[in-house]
Amino acid sequence: MGKRFKKTLFSVFCLGLILQGVSSLQARQEGASATGEGKNFLRYEIWVELDEETKMLRGKEDIFWSNWTQEPIPDFWFHLYWNAFKNERSTVFQESREEGRLGIQVGDDDWGWIDITAATLADGTDLIPTLEFINQDEPTHPGDQTVARFLLPEPLLPGQEMCLRLEFEAKIPRGILRTGYYQDSYFIAQWFPKPGVYERGKGWNCHEYHLNSEFFADFADFTVHITVPARYVVGASGKQVSAVSDAAGKKVTYTFEQTNIHDFAWTAAPHFIKVERDFLAAQEVTEEEYAAVARMVNLPPEDIRLPDVKMILLILPEHKSQVERHFKALRAAIKYYGLWYGPYPYETVTMVDPPFRTGSGGMEYPTLFTAGTGVLRDRKVLSPEGVIIHEFGHGYWYGLVANNEFEEAWLDEGINTYSTGKVQAKAYGPGMMPASLFGIPLTWFFKFPVYYDYELDRIAAILAVELDPITTFSWHFYSRASYGMNVYMRASTCLHTLERLLGEEKMLRILRTFQARFRFKHPRTQDFVDVVNEIAGQDMGWFFEEFFFNTLNFDYGIASLKSYEKKEFFRGFFDVDGKKEKVTRASISRLEKGKGKEAGEKTYTTEVRVRRYGEAKVRGEARLKLRVLFEDGSEETRFWDGQERWEKFIFEKPTRAVSAEVDPDFIWLIDSNLANNSMRLKPCRKGILRVVTKVFFWVQLGLSGLWGLT
Amino acid sequence: MSTLKIFGKGFLTAIRKTRLALYVWLATVLFSLVILAPIYFLLSHDFSRSLAGDRLDQGPLLLWLGDMIYQHRDDFPFLAGWTIVPAFLFLLLYVFLNGGILGRISVNERVNLPAFLSDSARYFWRFVRVFLLSILGYILVLGILGRGVSALLGVWIKKASSQWSTLAASLLKLLVFLLLYSLVKMFFDYVKVRLVVTESKKTARATLANFQFLGRRFFRAWGLFLLCGLVFIALSLVYYLGAKAIPAGGVIPLGILFLWQQVYVLALAWIVVFFFSTEYEFFKAHQYQPAEQT
């Protein structure tokens, strides 16, 4: 086939795309984002072939892209993510070096890269001479080649479309940052040249590949043709529409299609076992469940009905016994995410048990995610269940509500960590702490404590609070640990706190509204705050100010509790009828005897000092509740605005206090010291003794074990 | 004398000398209290007046554990030091007690505390030297030989194509580690036995002589050692099944569990006596007949 002929064919193809694109563009303009954020119409058709000998991908990619904004665009920016693995001068490796041992390791033969070998517009204009790598993220890493741009021969005018054909070659890295190969297994993610997101009035949002961050791209329609050796089992984003063998029967080309997704990943390995099941909504969800959720979200039950979904599992042979475990978790995820946050809109979801040593476990891609398990797993420990629920959940928070993960990762990771905990608790209850020795689960033999996710999240939340605000750009966090702890766990803890503050029903409505309003869009934190304010019916901006945009520790507690008999007589000199009268201890004693005071008539003064130990404050309409319990079983409640550093509360009752407690309803999960939230009048060590007794044995065992060294 | 007969004799000796296990158990109790004291005071400081204190072993564990971690995140070096130093001291105490145990096993007398302490003191410095030599032994055998085995397994698992291979390699490594460890442990146990039986103070000479002694009857000695190890495993299994049978919650079950745990710790101390008894009987049967017993 001649070059001119190919160019003509390409032009005809692009014309078809343009016509299709214009109609879609019109349809989308009608449903423009409420936030004013423009969306670019985007469509890909990609042909890629896996060369297993050289570990290379060779591909062609047609990108149809239109200028959705009101401004002319002079250039075209795109990601070449695999160049992060090209050499140690990439941003990823530079950042990794700063992390020390937490950084990534790569062998001399494990590098990967991607080269654009040809780039032409529909009219045949060659863009390769204009190719330029961009380093605009601060701090700059000049050697990084993960973002590039073409200068367009003419600026792309508002409403104008362009059709770009790229040809690329990519060396597949040995499993690194959730992509790559090991032996003959491949997990291929972030592999194709992907345009950045053009933001109206701001220009291209196209960040380098950072160690801490994930990704951001526009919604698009994908058609991807993947050619692999015939022995491979392939899974990919979207729906498989064909599988065609070549004449020799040595290669098979799989075609996958999916509309309205913003990324595309695939996997291929010869030993995958492919299992399919259907999520049948009629069997999974009862009418009572629909009715209960409908009441909570204030919608008719028919509006929240779930569709059926084809569930595809690619699992390794050594995990075959866990097939049903995987599907059970996925069913729970489809059910509860669907009921709570809106129906899953795609026909398929593909769950991949990550190929051995490709390091690709626990990651989300549109309509496809990787789980991760081991050969010996205890059912009491919710793994792989937790990761399955979490990664499927990203289909909602990242997949459908597609925030900028570079800049505001909490919007998907934080909300999804919160959601995962809710779904997991609903479907499974608490899970047992994982513990294993030489690969053998110790939980088979010993009873380890059980916990809900929010408990674990809280530990990270209070440890990470003073490092970074949750809303920090991903690569600007103090460390990788701070990124993880703040973005996932602290954000989740704050959302749990918000739920406790506003009520479960309002929180559900907030998340459902946020999901519905920003599906297939790119919301920002302020969009979430706006939804919270709207549903809560009050200005909750302070909550985000205190907990998301700042590094303020939240800790209120009882500083002191005193309960003593109220004085009726006072010593000293007093002016009585113009004379000085002296009152002594002896005279008080006489007065009391004369009065015939009995124990039952005594009045006790109870003083409670509540302190704000942290910098964060309750604000807005929120108040801090104080509850004091008394010996006669009565209780008193007071509310404090919590603005000053401390406040004294005084109660006068014919009985002594037993205890005082701030936040007795346990609303402020984010409080960094729950122990000081309450105080007894008299100490009690029973619980402490029970714990120490239990630990005592383990210390003895440890000491007994030392004999082995003598 | 057959290995089984020696095993039986050792067992009977250990039963006769059970009081030695009581001394060891008492030592673990005292040292455990020392190690736990700061933890108890920390918990008391944080929780004795808090309502959360009631629920420490019942409610959500991670909530109060989170409080502890956050409040005392700067105290961890101190707490780690507080745990390590007594543990090291306990190691030395064990070296001391070993002398008493072996000294009392080697004489046909009723066990009493003064004699036990006297023997402990008598053999202490000799056993310290054995202890130091044994560290060298562990480094040589586990550090060098063990690392060699690990490297060999590493070559295998580097090319592994499934998790089963890595799990198998990991278990194999554990097995090799345990076997190598048992060799070193047994070797230096016999050095101690020799020092007690021969009343020698020459540790290095006893160590060298031990090569000859064990070289001639290595498999029988090792078999006996592993047989004693099986007793340890059996006792642990009995403890485990017993502990599982005790219902959770409530003061009485907790009390029963505590007593059962103490029985197990006592049994572990008895196992120490049992190992030494069988090794002593083995040594006596093959090498040396004390004058007072011939």
Q: What are the pLDDT digits (tens) for A517-562?
A: 999 999 999 999 999 999 999 999 999 999 999 999 999 999 999 9
Can you give the pLDDT at residue A33? 37
Calpha distance B17→B111 (Å, rounded): 7
Q: Which residues of B touch A709 (CB under 8 A)?
A: 91, 134, 138
- Å from B294 to nearest chain A CA? 31
Q: What are the pLDDT digits (tens) for A35-94?
A: 334 444 899 999 999 999 999 999 999 999 999 899 999 999 999 999 999 999 999 999
Can you give the pLDDT at residue A596? 62
Answer yes or no: is pLDDT of B24 > 80: yes
The residue of chain A with its CA nearest to that of B182 is: A708
- Å from B5 to nearest chain A CA? 25
Scan for tokens 């220009």, then name that residue: A203
- Say whether A686 and B54 touch across the interface (CB within 8 A): yes
**Widest CA span in chain B:** 69
What are the backbone dihedrals phi and psi of residue A580, each rounded to the nearest 5 degrees, phi first? -90, 120
Calpha distance A48→A82 (Å, rounded): 15
Q: Which residues of A touch B160 (CB under 8 A)?
A: 356
Q: Which residues of A touch B129 (CB under 8 A)?
A: none
Q: Which amino acid is at A579?
A: K
Answer yes or no: is pLDDT of A594 > 60: yes
CB burial class (10 A; 0-12, 13-18, 19+) of residue B285? Answer: middle
Q: What are the pLDDT digits (tens) for B73-108?
A: 898 888 888 888 888 998 999 999 999 999 999 998
Can you give the pLDDT at residue A12? 45
DSSP A179: B
- Say whether A707 and B272 touch across the interface (CB within 8 A): yes
Buried b (16+ CB within 10 A) or exposed e, A649-667: eebebebbbbbbbbbbeeb
- Residue to substitute from A447, A455, A676, A696, interface B, most B β-carbons within 10 A: A696
Q: Which residues of B touch A690 (CB under 8 A)?
A: 56-57, 254
Answer yes or no: is pLDDT of B1 > 80: no
Can you give the pLDDT at residue A255? 98
In this structure, the strands spanning A450-451 and A431-432 are antiparallel
Nearest to B269 by CA among B6, B49, B3, B31: B31
- Say whether A703 and B87 touch across the interface (CB within 8 A): yes
- Say whether B43 and A688 touch across the interface (CB within 8 A): yes
Provide CB contacts within 8 A for A350, sequence distance 6+: A235, A236, A237, A312, A313, A314, A367, A368, A369
* Mean pLDDT rounded to a whole number for chain B: 91
Residues 514-543 (A) with a CB less than 8 A from some CB of B: none
Average pLDDT over residues A187-196: 98
Torsion of CA B180, B181, B186, B191, to 10 degrees: 100
B265 — pLDDT class (breaks 50, 70, 90)? very high
Buried b (16+ CB within 10 A) or exposed e, A513-545: bbbebbbbbbbbbebbbbbbbebbeeebbbbbb
According to DSSP, the residues that pair with A63 across neighbouring strands are A44, A164
In this structure, the strands spanning A646-653 and A368-370 are unpaired
In this structure, the strands spanning A309-315 and A348-352 are parallel
The CATH superfamily of A1-271 is tricorn interacting facor f3 domain (2.60.40.1730)
Please determine, looking at this structure, whether the domain spanning A556-683 carries the CATH number 1.10.30.
no
Can you give the pLDDT at residue B115? 95
Average pLDDT over residues A243-259: 97
Calpha distance A427→A141 (Å, rounded): 46
Closest in A317, A673, A683 to B48, CB measured:
A683
CATH 2.60.40.1730 residue spans of chain A: 1-271
A505 — pLDDT class (breaks 50, 70, 90)? very high
By the CB < 8 Å criterion, does A447 face chain B? yes
B109 — pLDDT class (breaks 50, 70, 90)? confident
The residue of chain B with its CA nearest to that of A690 is: B57
Provide CB contacts within 8 A for A101, sequence distance 6+: none
- Say whether B44 and A685 touch across the interface (CB within 8 A): yes
- Residue to substitute from B67, B150, B241, interface A, most A β-carbons within 10 A: B67
User: Within 10 Å of residue A91's Cβ, how many Cβ atoms?
Assistant: 27
Q: What are the pLDDT digits (tens) for A1-44?
A: 444 434 444 444 444 444 444 444 444 433 333 333 444 489 99
Can you give the pLDDT at residue A29? 39
* Mean pLDDT rounded to a whole number for chain A: 92
What are the backbone dihedrals phi and psi of residue A657, each rounded to the nearest 5 degrees, phi first? -80, 155
- Say whether B66 and A708 touch across the interface (CB within 8 A): no
The residue of chain A with its CA nearest to that of B37 is: A692
Q: Quick check: A189 and A179 in contact, CB under 8 A?
A: yes
Answer yes or no: is pLDDT of B293 > 70: no
